[in-house]
A = this chain, B = another copy of it.
Amino acid sequence: MHAKEMAEDFPVIGVESDAWEAVTQLAEHRLPGLVVMGDDGRPEAVLPASQVVRILVPSYVQDDPSLAGVLSESMADRVADKLRGKKVRQLLPADAPELAVVNDDDTIVEVAAVMARLRCPLAAVMDGDTLVGVITASRLLELALGPK
């Protein structure tokens, strides 16, 4: 079996898209992350939900976590304020995890090797310059264990 047959659809978003749209997608579909496509149409990074939650934390709490408990919460407004006019690019952490990229004719072992090395829970499957789909780590385990 090759990566092409393992790949599944997965939500992607452009690096120049509206940040609010990205956060809404993560929230509504309860996604652990989004694949971010670069201006060149190639997948560029993963935007992990675990990093995006940082926008929920006011900067004075990041400086002094003991202040977090005393906040009044009007989250949705604060998040909307913070994201207004921002692009997905600005949400990407400086040390965003490198996206695993594999070829459509790679084998399970090849995909697993790339994922494990990068500790990336997703691999983007490319046919040349075209994104064919995405393989998650758990999908790979499912395929490896085979039909029951």
Contacts and interface: CB of A to CB of B under 8 A. Distances in A.
Contacts of A79: 144-145
Given A107-B68, A107-B69, A108-B75, A28 B142 contact: yes
A76 B139 contact: no
A88 to B, nearest CB: 14
A58 to B, nearest CB: 7
A58 B109 contact: yes
A90 to B, nearest CB: 16
Contacts of A144: 27, 53, 56, 75-76, 79
Nearest to A144: B75
Identical chains in the assembly: 2
Nearest to A105: B69
Mostly helix, strand, loop or mixed at chain A's interface? helix
A145 to B, nearest CB: 5
Interface in A43-58: 48-54, 56-58
Given A50-B120, A137-B52, A138-B31, A24 B57 contact: no
A86 B89 CA distance: 43
A141 B32 contact: no
